[in-house]
Structure 1
Amino acid sequence: MNITQEKVDALNAVVKINIDPADYQPRVDKAIKENAKKAKLPGFRPGMVPASHIKKMYGKSILVDEINNLLQDTLTKYIEEQDLRVLGQPLPKTDNEKEYNWDFADNFEFNYELGLAPEFNIDFSSKDNVTQYVIKVDDETLASRIKNIRRSYGKMTNPDVSADDDVLYSELVQLSPDGSVFEGGISNTASVRLDQIKDEAIKASLIGLKKGDVLTFDIQKAYDNDAAKVAGLLKIEEDEAADLKSNFQLTVKNVNRLEEGDLNQEFFDKLFGEGVVTTEAEFTAKITEELETMMVQDSERKLQDDIYKASIAKVDFNLPDDFLKRWLKATNEKLTTEELEGGYNDFAQNLKWTLIENKIITDNKIEIKYDEVFALAKVRLDQQFRMYSPQAIPEDQLAQYTVQYLQNKENANKIFEEVKALKVFDYIKSVITLDKQDILFTDFNKLVSEK
Structure 2
Amino acid sequence: MNISQEKTGKLNAVISINLNPEDYQPRVDKAIKEQAKKAKIPGFRPGMVPPAHVKRMYGKNILVDEINNLLSDTLNNYINDEKLEVLGQPLPKLEEDTQYNWDFNDNFNFTYEVGLAPEIDVDFNSKDKIDYYKISVDDETLASRIKNLRRSYGKMTNPDVSADGDVLYGEMQQLSPDGAVFEDGIKQTVSIRLENIQDKDIKASLIGLKKDDVVEFDIQKAYNNDAAKIAGLFKIDEEEAAQLKSNFRLTVKNVNRLDESDLDQAFFEKIFGEGTDVTTEEQFRAKIKEELEAMMVQDADRKLQNDLYNYSLEKIKFELPDEFLKRWLKATNEKLTDEELAGGYDDFAKNLKWTLITNKLIAANDIKVEYKDVFEQAKRQLDAQFRMYSPQPISEEQLAQYAVQFMQNKENANRIFEETKALKVLDYLKSVVTLNDKQIDFKQFSELEQA
Q: TM-score, normalization: structure 2? A: 0.88
Q: Is 1:341 paired with 2:342?
A: yes
Deviates more, 1:395-404 or 1:98-107: 395-404
Q: C-alpha distance in 1, partners of 2:269/2:354?
A: 48
Partner of 1:108: 108
1:444, distance to aligned residue in structure 2 (A): 1.2
Partner of 1:133: 133
Deviates more, 1:292-301 or 1:125-134: 292-301
Q: C-alpha distance in 1, partners of 2:176/2:51?
A: 75
Q: C-alpha distance in 2, partners of 1:27/1:182?
A: 78
Q: What letter is aligned with 1:412?
A: A
Report the identity percentage.
67
Q: Is the 8 A contact 2:271 2:391 kept in 1?
A: no
Q: Is 1:36 paired with 2:33?
A: no
Q: What secondary structure is seen at the aligned counterpart in 1 of 2:17?
A: strand
Partner of 1:358: 359
Q: What letter is aligned with 1:345?
A: D
Partner of 2:323: 322
Deviations 1:351-392 (CA, angstroms, capped at 9, x unpaired) = 111111111111111222222222222222322333333333
Q: Is 1:241 paired with 2:238?
A: yes
Deviates more, 1:165-174 or 1:121-130: 165-174
1:249, distance to aligned residue in structure 2 (A): 5.9
Partner of 1:420: 421
Q: Is 1:253 paired with 2:253?
A: yes
Alignment of 1:212-291 (within 5 A): 212-213=212-213, 222-223=222-223, 229-230=229-230, 232-235=232-235, 240-244=237-241, 245-246=243-244, 250-264=250-264, 266-268=266-268, 270-272=270-272, 276-291=277-292
Q: What secondary structure is seen at the aligned counterpart in 2 of 1:123?
A: coil
1:255, distance to aligned residue in structure 2 (A): 1.3
Q: What letter is aligned with 2:362?
A: I
Alignment of 1:68-79 (within 5 A): 68-79=68-79
Deviations 1:420-451 (CA, angstroms, capped at 9, x unpaired) = 1111111111111101111122111111100x
Partner of 1:18: 18
Q: C-alpha distance in 1, partners of 2:199/2:337?
A: 37
1:327, distance to aligned residue in structure 2 (A): 0.8
Deviations 1:394-422 (CA, angstroms, capped at 9, x unpaired) = 32333333334334433332222222111
1:107, distance to aligned residue in structure 2 (A): 1.7
**Distance of aligned partners of 1:264 and 1:34 in 2 relative to their CA distance in 1, 3 Å threshold:** closer
Partner of 1:300: 301
1:94, distance to aligned residue in structure 2 (A): 1.6
Deviations 1:180-239 (CA, angstroms, capped at 9, x unpaired) = 5666x8765443222223455654554444333456666666556656545544446xxx
**Distance of aligned partners of 1:422 and 1:207 in 2 relative to their CA distance in 1, 3 Å threshold:** same
Q: What secondary structure is seen at the aligned counterpart in 2 of 1:301?
A: helix
Deviations 1:48-106 (CA, angstroms, capped at 9, x unpaired) = 33333333333222222221111111101111111100111101112212222222222
Alignment of 1:46-85 (within 5 A): 46-85=46-85
Q: C-alpha distance in 2, partners of 1:27/1:217?
A: 80
1:160, distance to aligned residue in structure 2 (A): 3.0
Q: C-alpha distance in 1, partners of 2:440/2:205?
A: 37
Q: C-alpha distance in 1, partners of 2:339/2:202?
A: 38
**Distance of aligned partners of 1:360 and 1:332 in 2 relative to their CA distance in 1, 3 Å threshold:** same
Deviates more, 1:377-386 or 1:112-121: 377-386
Partner of 1:122: 122
Partner of 2:378: 377
**Distance of aligned partners of 1:73 and 1:37 in 2 relative to their CA distance in 1, 3 Å threshold:** same
1:320, distance to aligned residue in structure 2 (A): 0.9
Q: C-alpha distance in 1, partners of 2:104/2:181?
A: 78
Deviates more, 1:345-354 or 1:211-220: 211-220
Q: What secondary structure is seen at the aligned counterpart in 2 of 1:254?
A: strand
Alignment of 1:397-408 (within 5 A): 397-408=398-409
Q: C-alpha distance in 2, partners of 1:443/1:39?
A: 72
Moved over 6 A (4+): 173-179
Aligned length: 446
Partner of 1:168: 168
Q: What letter is aligned with 1:360?
A: L
Q: C-alpha distance in 1, partners of 2:94/2:372?
A: 47
Q: C-alpha distance in 2, partners of 1:191/1:296?
A: 37
Q: C-alpha distance in 1, partners of 2:249/2:358?
A: 55
Q: What secondary structure is seen at the aligned counterpart in 2 of 1:328?
A: helix
Q: Is the 8 A contact 1:357 1:421 kept in 2?
A: yes
Q: What stretches of structure 1 of length at least 5 have no aligned partner?
A: none
